[in-house]
Chain A
Amino acid sequence: MSRAGRIRAETAAAARSFLRRRTAVIFTFFFPLLLVLIFGVLVRTQPGGGGLFARPDAYYLPGYLATVVLFTPLSRIGSEIARHRDGHRFEKLATTPLTRAEWLLAHTLVNVGVIGVASLLVFGLVTLVTGADIPVSGDLLLLVPFVALAVVLFCGIGAVLGRVSDSQDGVIAASNSVALPLLFLSDTFVSPDLLPDWFLPAVNLSPLTYFSRGVRAVTFAAPDGAGLAGVGAVGNLAILAVLSVVCFAVGAAAVPRGE
């Protein structure tokens, strides 16, 4: 059993622990659904056709998915580290065979499961409520690794935030400070043509950009037919995979060990 057994034990405990916090579960799913309802249904496009939300509904699917793959791992992993620290759980875990990477992997797996379900709900809601025209093909299966890798990536960053923050309140503040700029400056809801030229290189520095561009390549056919699947999706997926590995490694190193 060894490694697999340890990860299984940690994953089971983390999953049970999360699923029994009803408020946390409800808001994990309610938050992205609320966003879809507000921005997909209530917010209207300007008469001239410009500004935010002026593009076809399917264009914004990556943005809605980005919300769940970004906010939830950052705040959940960060808060979990703060909770562990408050309860001196790392001190105890440091005397068990469980490694930092195994701990982070276990909690990442829980997040992948939770966020996978939330992403499915968002996908369904966007399709049904906004009437987004999403091309149905086998390429849609690429959404699975996109979501999974993005969750891994932001769990890694969440671990770093949990390490540097000294309380659960601090984690929430730090994760919001990181997530909000990323959400709106990563080619999600705000398309690059709405940003000044000098800022565009910064968009490429955001790991979320590769998620949103890749997901868009799979789910959105531009009027001229460009951008659907193909190299765009795979290339962004590859970049996302590399960034996920790096962020996970950094996050694993950041998981506290002892006091």
Chain B
Amino acid sequence: MNDATVVRAVDARKSYDGTVALDGVSLDVHEGEVFGLIGPNGAGKTTLVRALTGTADAEGTLELFGDAAGDSDRSRIGLLPQEFGPPERLTARELVAYYGGLYDESLPVDDVLADVGLADDADTWYENLSGGQKRRVCVATALVNDPDVLFLDEPTTGIDPAGRRALWGLLDSLADSGVTVFLTSHSMEEVERLADRVGLLRDGELVAVGTPAELVAEHGGPARFVVAGPDVEAGADPLRDAGFAVEVGTDELVLGDVTPAELGDAVTALADASVGYESLTWTEPTLEDVYLRLTGETFEGTFTPGASAVGAAADGVAGDSDSAPAAEVER
């Protein structure tokens, strides 16, 4: 990655029938950088991709390689639209060859198909491929012109875990070779795994930009240490006496803002007080926590132990979905 700016948006604005889709978005993406864009449905991610690729008008400055987005050198752009549906009755090979044929120079079709893991299904009609295979063909059509900047709008939707990881590896190698990747996704794992920097869109506004680590540090909230067991409530006071902030939940204690170095002290405090437990879980905040905190999204309608958990999430202190059940706060 170097400092040359490939993608630039300055005060980008767009409205559809009075609904604000982009509200003053400004960002720079540099050569060889993987930029991940996250945000809820309808936040404006696809609109921003369209504005940056010149396929939709928007107010403000939108540039690729220093040229206005619609006037940039198209042979340098690769695009995978979000709901892309190419001609159904062409084979994977024919589709990739077709899109490659639209450029003066393109990569060998078989190489591209192999890169996306479709070498064995190259002669199958698109309509007869599985959902994940179809998406891989679509990715291949975005790669075939050997682009310098790649816009991928939810590229791994429908792709199985193995295929997804293979694609991640491919994107890694593309970025290493200097290709700039602009990626939208609903998979925090994907963005955290791939992106050098992440931007979070909410209601058309870019509310946070930074490396995954920066975003987690700034917006992810504290790490949590959860002590679970039927009699752990007795450990609350000893832990507080040892200097920990403790929340008491149903059959669990939640210690906030605990560093790994302090874990031993917490366990010692419990042992000294003869408090037994069934499990100890230390959870670092993740990008998903950042997402939930900044978007205010909740998991209403899904099972969440403890009625207060939903309320807590709505207040912007949602727990990590991968972590132990959210605790009822009792202070």
- Give chain A residues whose Cβ lies under 8 Å from the Cβ of B101: 5-6, 8-10, 12
Q: A97-B74, A258-B56 are in contact. Are A89 and B90 (CB under 8 A)?
A: no
A16 CA / B126 CA spacing, docked (Å): 13
- Chain B, range 57-83, C-beta contacts under 8 Å to A: 74-75, 77-83
Least Cβ–Cβ distance between B293 and chain A, in angstroms: 32
Say yes or no for B55: interface residue by CB 8 A criterion: yes
- Chain A, range 1-26, C-beta contacts under 8 Å to B: 1-2, 5-6, 8-10, 12-13, 16-17, 20-21
Q: DSSP majority for the A interface?
A: helix
Complex partner residue of B84 from A8, A12, A88, CB under 8 angstroms: A88
- Chain B, range 149-202, C-beta contacts under 8 Å to A: 151
Complex partner residue of A13 from B75, B87, B145, B151, CB under 8 angstroms: B87
Q: Which of B80, B87, B95 has the most CB of A within 10 A?
A: B87
* A95 near B74: Cβ-Cβ < 8 Å: yes
Q: A13-B87, A16-B94, A259-B56 are in contact. Are A97 and B79 (CB under 8 A)?
A: no
Q: Which residue of B lies closest to A88 (CB)?
A: B81
A88 CA / B50 CA spacing, docked (Å): 11
- Chain B, range 71-114, C-beta contacts under 8 Å to A: 74-75, 77-90, 94-95, 97-104
- Give chain B residues whose Cβ lies under 8 Å from the Cβ of A88: 81-85
Say yes or no for B141: interface residue by CB 8 A criterion: yes
Please tell me the size bucket of the interface on B. Answer: 35 or more
- Give chain A residues whose Cβ lies under 8 Å from the Cβ of B50: 91, 258-259
A86 CA / B79 CA spacing, docked (Å): 17
- Give chain B residues whose Cβ lies under 8 Å from the Cβ of A9: 97-102
Q: Which of B75, B89, B100 has the most CB of A within 10 A?
A: B89
* A89 near B102: Cβ-Cβ < 8 Å: no
Say yes or no for A87: interface residue by CB 8 A criterion: yes
* A21 near B84: Cβ-Cβ < 8 Å: no
Q: Which residue of A lies closest to B95 (CB)?
A: A13
Say yes or no for B53: interface residue by CB 8 A criterion: yes
Least Cβ–Cβ distance between A13 and chain B, in angstroms: 4
Least Cβ–Cβ distance between A186 and chain B, in angstroms: 34
* A92 near B74: Cβ-Cβ < 8 Å: no
Say yes or no for B132: interface residue by CB 8 A criterion: no
Least Cβ–Cβ distance between A29 and chain B, in angstroms: 19
Complex partner residue of A87 from B53, B56, B85, CB under 8 angstroms: B85
* B83 near A13: Cβ-Cβ < 8 Å: no
A9 CA / B101 CA spacing, docked (Å): 5
16 contacts between A and B (CB under 8 A): A8-B101, A9-B99, A13-B87, A13-B90, A16-B89, A91-B84, A92-B141, A93-B102, A95-B53, A95-B77, A95-B78, A96-B145, A97-B75, A257-B55, A258-B56, A259-B50
Residues of A within 8 A of B (CB): 1-2, 5-6, 8-10, 12-13, 16-17, 20-21, 86-98, 257-259
Residues of B within 8 A of A (CB): 50, 53-56, 74-75, 77-90, 94-95, 97-104, 125, 141, 145, 151
